[in-house]
């Protein structure tokens, strides 16, 4: 059976445009439109966010937005920022900071703080794959 070359190109382009594991991990760790500062322990536990089996994650940031709004940063809603891409507009975020240093999962306890910041992410093939940090933004 011969597959026309145009079909092979279309299938290849479709495969490249599909979200990958890094994007799915980014969504799990960083996007939650209903997040609040008092839910860090609950959400981090439910989503199994940690460094590894033995270590709590020191800090995790949740972006209060849809996946489409965050993904748009990798296109027209973002600008180059070193090796990263910076959002043109600020986002509501919740920063969860580990309170009990040295704790091991499942005993990780976090203090949440709500902020409004531009964010810096790494994009791959048009998808966000790494949250670098938030950027304090001062308007003139």
Task: Tell me phi and psi for residue 30, to 5 degrees.
Answer: -130, -10
Q: CATH number for the domain including 122?
A: 3.10.130.10
The one catalytic residue in 29, 30, 73, 110 is: 30
Residue 122: inside a domain: yes
Tell me whether residue 69 is one of the annotated catalytic residues.
no
The model's pLDDT over 5-36, given as tens digits with 9 standing for 90+, comes to: 443 344 444 444 456 899 999 999 999 999 99
Residue 101: inside a domain: yes
Pairing of strands 127-135, 78-81: unpaired
Quote the DSSP letter at residue 52.
B
Indicate the number of domains in the chain: 1
CA-wise closest residue to 95 among 52, 35, 55: 35
Residue 4: inside a domain: no
The share of the chain scoring above pLDDT 70, in percent, equals: 84
Whether the CB-CB separation of 23 and 121 falls below 8 Å is answered with: no
Residue 103: inside a domain: yes
* Helix H or strand E segment including 12: helix 5-17
Q: Residue 113 sits in which domain range?
A: 21-135
The one catalytic residue in 105, 115, 130, 135 is: 130
Cβ burial, residue 67 (10 Å; 0-12/13-18/19+)? middle
The model's pLDDT over 31-60, given as tens digits with 9 standing for 90+, comes to: 999 999 999 999 999 999 999 889 999 999
The model's pLDDT over 53-99, given as tens digits with 9 standing for 90+, comes to: 899 999 999 999 999 999 999 999 999 999 999 999 999 999 999 99
Whole-structure pTM value:
0.83
* pLDDT for the residue 31: 98
Whether the CB-CB separation of 134 and 94 falls below 8 Å is answered with: no
Question: 84 is written with which tokens?
Answer: 């990263």
């Amino acid at each position: 059976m011969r597959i026309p070359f145009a079909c092979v190109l279309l299938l290849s382009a479709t495969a490249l445009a599909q979200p990958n594991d890094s994007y799915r991990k980014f969504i799990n760790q960083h996007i939650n439109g209903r997040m609040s500062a008092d839910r860090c322990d609950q959400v981090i536990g439910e989503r199994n966010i940690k460094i590894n089996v033995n270590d709590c994650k020191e800090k995790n940031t949740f972006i209060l937005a849809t996946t489409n709004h965050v993904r748009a940063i990798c296109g027209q809603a973002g600008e180059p920022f070193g090796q990263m891409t910076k959002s043109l507009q600020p986002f509501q975020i919740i920063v969860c900071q580990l309170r009990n240093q040295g704790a091991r999962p499942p005993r990780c306890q976090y203090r949440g703080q709500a902020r409004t910041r531009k964010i810096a992410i790494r994009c791959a093939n048009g998808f966000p794959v790494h949250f670098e940090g938030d950027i304090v933004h001062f308007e003139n």
